[in-house]
């Protein structure tokens, strides 16, 4: 390790983990701290000062950051796979609180000053704070409390505000350093007690949100601009003016009326028409991610790829083309949900999706979440509905959620979901109609519309068994549909 190694992405070419350790007195670190983080400290014969090892989520050594005299750094290995610095030393949820710093030395300094008892990790830099935390969101979220100890400068303060807002209120405390720029300065100055006091006194992060009426003129003098993406169907756009951020759209339906197909059409449409920096998160709780992916690919192919007779006529190259167009993007984030679906767990997944850039969340469906809980279903629906609405407004995201109807046509179990929704859309299909064409028509009605008040019949969507798509009927076709069912007593249409 005597020669200065150039930057490399080859994991096999990086310096191996240290086998012998010594205290790093220049930085104030005991040998115990050095061992905990696996740092190779240079000696008189070394050209480097230290080698900081980085690991992936499987605790495999994948990268190094090498410090040379004069605060010069070189990185080695697969940096993109690396987790937070020090993360491998502290298992998820191993303590009630974890400290996150802005530099490797600062994480080690916090660990040293706290008597080497509590976990401390580091992001790569202030500029990468959001990405680093998003990539390791579940790990950090496993601790009851997160303390941010970023540098006492403008980039550090901005990064702290950005990261703190990614977690639910009360989860994050933000230190306000009074005696130094960073944690390592406190350690080197012998201010461990002062640091400990500021650590314990760190207040919970609360986003600013109080306004005086006298300050609102600039907001109201010009028309409000809404971030909007239109639905794929003109009739629904006429009723709702599209899908807006910070709003919850509730879709109510019986089973087998085309709700999942409608949602996939919406996801495909959003991927093409929403801002390119916005992602779409999908929580399809009644199917696997493979089925969801095939559904989106089927929309691109204009044929139902999940059917065996259709799939037989599609070669691998053609299938790959549909995959590239419909699914192969980091803007699409799906939850591999099989297992426990607790209410808070689902909400945390939505937070994680938001941290990864998702601004549109599709949740299919609320009923299956509450069915996984113990206790009163009505109270569970009220709880998740309220929390979902608050999360939607806090993160400025759009949520499209499905809930099943009872046989009487009402929302199952509780009025809570409808009370929190900005827009409620009801789907109806007559599955017993003798006419096959009519059996495949889903009628869409807006029952609640807080945005503009337009309610009532919106559009008719016909499912095409050949293409697997839902196409909007023309006014003439819709009229023919309605006239054909006018005398059917069993048909209900609000």
Query: Is the bond preceding 63 in cis, omega lying within 30 degrees of 0?
Result: no
pLDDT-based confidence at residue 2 (cuts at 50, 70, 90): very low
pLDDT of res. 336: 85
pLDDT, tens digit (0-9, with 9 covering 90-100), for 401-446: 999 876 655 555 566 788 899 999 999 999 889 999 999 999 999 9
Q: Tokens 């009872």: give the residue.
A: 406
The Cα 53–Cα 64 span in angstroms is: 5
The burial of 209, by beta-carbon neighbours within 10 Å (0-12 exposed, 13-18 middle, 19 or more buried), is given as exposed
Residue 306 has pLDDT above 50, yes or no: yes
- Range name among 1-10, 90-99, 193-202, 342-351 with the lowest pLDDT average: 1-10
Per domain, the residue ranges of the chain are 1-82, 93-207, 228-484
Taken as a whole, the chain contains a residue count of 494
Phi and psi angles of residue 156, each rounded to the nearest 5 degrees, phi first: -65, -40
pLDDT, the chain, mean? 90
For the chain, percent of residues with pLDDT exceeding 90: 74
Q: Average the pLDDT over 382-392 and give the result.
A: 92
What CATH architecture does domain 1-82 belong to? Single Sheet (2.20)
pLDDT-based confidence at residue 490 (cuts at 50, 70, 90): very low
Residue 49 CA: distances (Å) to CA of 36, 42, 82, 264:
18, 5, 21, 54
Sign of CA dihedral 297, 395, 336, 78: positive
Q: Average the pLDDT over 353-380 and give the result.
A: 85
pLDDT, tens digit (0-9, with 9 covering 90-100), for 107-165: 999 999 999 999 999 999 999 999 999 999 999 999 999 999 999 999 999 999 999 99
Q: Average the pLDDT over 253-281 and give the result.
A: 94
Residue 332 has pLDDT above 90, yes or no: yes
Q: Average the pLDDT over 224-247 and give the result.
A: 95
Q: Average the pLDDT over 5-29 and give the result.
A: 82
Choose between 374 and 194: higher pLDDT.
194
To 5 degrees, how large is the angle CA 231–CA 235–CA 240? 60
The Cα 15–Cα 65 span in angstroms is: 10
* 33, two tokens: 């701290």
**Closest by Cα among 106, 116, 125, 238 to 175:** 106
- Helix, strand, coil proportions of the chain in percent (round to 5)? 35, 20, 40
Which CATH number does 93-207 carry? 3.40.1360.10
pLDDT, tens digit (0-9, with 9 covering 90-100), for 88-116: 999 999 999 999 999 999 999 999 999 99
Phi and psi angles of residue 149, each rounded to the nearest 5 degrees, phi first: -125, 70
User: Is the CATH number of domain 228-484 2.60.40.1240?
Assistant: no
Q: Average the pLDDT over 206-235 and give the result.
A: 82
SS (H, E, C) the chain: CCCCCCCECCHHHCCCCCCCCCCECCCCECHHHHHHHCCEECCCCCCCCEEEEEECCCCCEEEEEEEECCCEEEEEECHHHCCCECHHHCCCCCCCEEEEECCHHHHHHHHHHCCCCCCEEECCCHHHHHHHHHHCHHHHHCCCEEEEECCCCHHHHHHHHHHHCCCCCCCEEECCCCCCCCHHHHHHCCCHHHHHHHHHHCCECCCCCCCCHHHCHHHHCCCCCCCEECCCCHHHHHHHCCEECCCEEEEEECCCCCHHHHHHHHHHHHHHHCCCCCEEEEEECCCCHHHHHHHHHHHHHCCCCCCHHHHHCCCHHHHHHHHHHHCCCCCEEECCCCCCCCHHHHHHHHHHHHHCCEEEEEEECHHHHHHCCCCCHHHHHHHHHHHHHHHHHHHCCEEEEEEEECCCCCECCCCHHHHHCCEEEEEECCCCCCCHHHHCEEEEEEEEECCCCCCEEEEEEEEECCCCEEEECCHHHHHHHHHHCCCCCCCCCC
Q: How many CB atoms lie within 10 A of CB 72?
A: 11
* 86, two tokens: 């020090």
Q: Tokens 């409808």: give the residue.
A: 418
């Amino acid at each position: 390790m005597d020669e200065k190694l150039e930057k490399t992405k080859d994991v096999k070419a990086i310096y191996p983990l240290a086998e012998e350790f010594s205290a790093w007195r220049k930085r104030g670190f005991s040998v115990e701290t050095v061992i905990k983080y696996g740092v190779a400290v240079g000696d008189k014969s070394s050209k480097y000062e230290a080698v900081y090892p980085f690991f992936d989520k499987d605790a495999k050594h994948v990268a190094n950051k090498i410090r040379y005299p004069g605060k010069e750094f070189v990185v080695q290995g697969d940096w993109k796979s690396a987790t937070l610095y020090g993360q491998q030393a502290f298992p998820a949820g191993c303590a009630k609180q974890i400290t996150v710093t802005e530099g490797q030395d600062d994480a080690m300094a916090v660990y040293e000053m706290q008597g080497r008892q509590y976990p401390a990790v580091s992001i790569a830099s202030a500029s990468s704070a959001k990405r680093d935390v998003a990539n390791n969101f579940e790990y950090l979220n496993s601790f009851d409390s997160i303390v941010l100890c970023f540098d006492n400068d403008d980039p550090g303060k901005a990064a702290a505000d950005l990261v703190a807002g990614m977690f639910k209120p009360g989860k994050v405390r933000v230190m306000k350093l009074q005696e130094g720029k960073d944690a390592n300065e406190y350690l080197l100055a012998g201010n461990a007690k002062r640091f400990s006091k500021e650590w314990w006194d760190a207040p919970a992060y609360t986003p600013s949100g109080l306004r005086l009426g006298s300050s609102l003129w600039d907001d109201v003098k010009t028309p409000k601009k809404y971030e909007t993406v239109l639905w794929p169907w003109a009739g629904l756009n006429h009723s709702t003016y599209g899908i807006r951020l910070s709003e919850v759209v509730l879709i109510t339906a019986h089973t087998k009326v085309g709700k999942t197909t409608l949602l996939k059409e919406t996801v495909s449409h959003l991927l093409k028409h929403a801002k390119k920096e916005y992602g779409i998160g999908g929580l399809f709780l009644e199917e696997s991610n493979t089925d969801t992916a095939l559904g989106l690919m089927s929309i691109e192919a204009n044929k139902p790829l999940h059917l065996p007779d259709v799939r037989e006529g599609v070669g691998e190259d053609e299938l790959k083309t549909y995959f590239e167009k419909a699914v192969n993007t980091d803007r699409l984030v799906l939850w591999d949900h099989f297992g426990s679906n607790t209410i808070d767990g689902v909400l945390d997944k939505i937070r994680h999706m938001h941290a990864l850039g998702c601004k549109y969340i599709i949740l299919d469906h609320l009923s299956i979440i509450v069915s996984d809980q113990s206790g009163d279903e009505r109270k569970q629906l009220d709880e998740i509905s309220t929390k979902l609405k608050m999360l939607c407004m806090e993160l400025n995201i759009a949520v499209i959620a499905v809930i099943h109807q009872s046989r009487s046509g009402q929302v199952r179990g509780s009025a809570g979901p409808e009370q929190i929704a900005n827009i409620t859309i009801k789907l109806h299909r007559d599955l017993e109609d003798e006419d096959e064409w009519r059996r495949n028509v889903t009628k869409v009605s807006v029952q609640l519309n807080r945005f503009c008040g337009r309610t009532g019949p919106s559009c008719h969507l016909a499912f095409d068994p050949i293409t697997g798509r839902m196409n909007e009927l023309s006014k003439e076709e819709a009229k023919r549909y309605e006239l054909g069912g006018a005398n059917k007593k069993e048909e209900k249409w609000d």
